[in-house]
Amino acid sequence: MIDSHHHLWRYSKEEYPWIPPGSPLEKNHLLAELRDVTTKAGVSGTVVVQARQTIEETLWLLDLAGQSPLIRGVVGWLPLIDETIYDLLDVWQHEPKLKGLRHVLQEEPDEYFAHADFHRGLAVLAHTHLRYDLLIFERQIPASLAMIDRHPQLPIIIDHIAKPEIHNGRISAEWKKGMIELAKRDQVIGVKISGMATEVRDPLLDDETLRAYFEETLAIFGPQRLMFGTDWPVCLLRLNSYQQWATMMRSFVASLSKAEQENILTNNAIRCYDL
């Protein structure tokens, strides 16, 4: 299995103000722990994703990836909105384990999706081999569609199935409508089955509701575009362990053909990120 989405950090309150006090996230989550949890879960490779919007963190993640063959790729952050992005990408695109960039769009107003300087950065990114990870809530899908349509040559990977507002026992109609539109875009090359547990609004998780979201995403995008991801350690806000989500994913795909299982659990991440 290839985990297409997880994080690592040295915790500090100042650098991670979004982490809830007293939560399992409020501590270091580093390479030794990643090796331990992936080994127990039967995961043989990962893609580590930025959690802070700093060049320093991107450098740090690339350094960790250089230390460990477990980390196959890095999705980092560079200031796409900055006029220096031409020069930055001219250098950074040659980092062998840098596979993509991400901006935390879920924290931005809809106006940001149309910002001319942001689109300039995306246009430059489209001329590299790097992908763009799209981190949004379901309510931001319309703004995302307009943004995506301006960059038909930019490969885009959707994080956390576009963060639906999950209520047990039903599927969000607005989310489904938006995902059907996203699936029509050829440049949307992948969708991560990750981050779902933390979007559940109910006190208890319902495995069948999470399975239903997986099956809806599978029906919309097909087995060639879905990829397993854990969103560890953020998933620990609602799950007991890294292994719990890996086990759930195996159960979600159990009824599929062997080839479809291999695509979702391993091959699609390798292909989409050129690992």
Domain of residue 248, CATH code: 3.20.20.140
Which pLDDT score, from 0 to 100, does residue 87 have?
96
Domain extent for 45: 2-267
Which pLDDT score, from 0 to 100, does residue 211 have?
98
In whole angstroms, how far apart are CA 105 and each of 33, 77, 95, 172, 179? 28, 12, 24, 21, 17
Mark out the alpha helices in 150-257 (DSSP H runs).
173-183, 207-221, 242-253
- 107 in a domain, yes or no? yes
116-153 tens-digit pLDDT = 999 999 999 999 999 999 999 999 999 999 999 999 99
- 273 in a domain, yes or no? no
Which pLDDT score, from 0 to 100, does residue 255 have?
97
- 274 in a domain, yes or no? no
Contacts of 105 (CB under 8 A, 6+ apart): 112, 113, 134, 135, 136, 140, 144
Q: Which amino acid is at 179?
A: M
- 95 in a domain, yes or no? yes
Which pLDDT score, from 0 to 100, does residue 224 have?
98
220-256 tens-digit pLDDT = 999 999 999 999 999 999 999 999 999 999 999 999 9
Q: Is residue 107 within 8 Å of residue 141, measured between CB atoms?
A: no
Count of structural domains within the chain: 1
- 156 in a domain, yes or no? yes
- 78 in a domain, yes or no? yes
Question: pLDDT 10s per residue in the chain (275 long)?
Answer: 999 999 999 999 999 999 999 999 999 999 999 999 999 999 999 999 999 999 999 999 999 999 999 999 999 999 999 999 999 999 999 999 999 999 999 999 999 999 999 999 999 999 999 999 999 999 999 999 999 999 999 999 999 999 999 999 999 999 999 999 999 999 999 999 999 999 999 999 999 999 999 999 999 999 999 999 999 999 999 999 999 999 999 999 999 999 999 999 999 999 999 99
- 272 in a domain, yes or no? no
- 69 in a domain, yes or no? yes
